[in-house]
Amino acid sequence: MSWAAFCLIATEFVKLRLRQRDWLPGSSRSTYKVAVEQIPPEPPVSPTPRPNWWKRNWKWFVPLGCFSIALLFVVFVGSVVVIVFSAVKSTDVYKDALTRAKSHPAVIEALGSPVTEGFLVSGNTNVNGASGEANLAIPVSGPKGKGTIYVAAKKSLGRWEYSGLVLEIANTHKRIDLLGSSAGAHSQ
């Protein structure tokens, strides 16, 4: 309790007692009443102002904000990666190279069946209408091992012509030619 509050309570207590008895020992009632009324009242004690929202909440808001920004960045980069790899995997040359590898007897013997493609395709494809070119490295795996399909092809007049289509086995570095007897053009 503050000193001002104590004085205020004590003054009110004395006033109450004087009203009940109507006398003050050693002085007249009117003298005390005048003396008490001349004492200025203490100003009310104002409560401390509440801190603003930022001062109350910055300790949890800053880490949450940083985490949210980092999460949005990761989601954005991940989305771009998925879109790019999906675009490459939807090309005709990618699908044809994978189909040839999955059905080639030497690939099935080396990697086993089923042959599945990996996610991280590297290389590039550039298709503009009926022309284009592709240089891809497609990771594949099977029960017996892993490998990479290397594709080099050009598209002219709507037809893909492969200059190279081989599977390299990962542990032996043996190469299997996937063009086989049709070592020339393949139409799509």
Residue 96 and residue 81 share a domain? no
Report the pLDDT value the prediction gives residue 78, as an integer from 0 to 100: 94
Residue 106 and residue 157 share a domain? yes
Strand partners, 51: none
Which stretches of the chain are assigned E, i.e. beta strand? Answer: 116-117, 122-128, 131-142, 145-156, 159-169, 175-177, 185-187
Residue 183 and residue 99 share a domain? yes
Structure tokens at 88: 């490459």
- Tens digit of pLDDT for each residue in 113-158? 889 988 888 888 888 888 899 999 999 999 999 999 999 999 998 8
Residues 151, 116, 178, 144, Cα dihedral to 10°: 130
Dist CA 33 CA 21 (whole Å):
13
Residue 157 and residue 139 share a domain? yes
Q: Which is it for strands 116-117 and 131-142: parallel, antiparallel or unpaired?
A: antiparallel
* Residue 43 lies inside a defined structural domain of this protein: no
CB 151 within 8 A of CB 88: no
- Our count of domains for the chain comes to 3
CATH number for 122: 3.10.450
Whether the per-residue pLDDT at 181 is higher than 60: the answer is: no
> Does the pTM exceed 0.75?
no
Q: How many CB atoms lie within 10 A of CB 167?
A: 24
Whether the per-residue pLDDT at 34 is higher than 60: the answer is: no
The SS3 of residue 13 is: helix
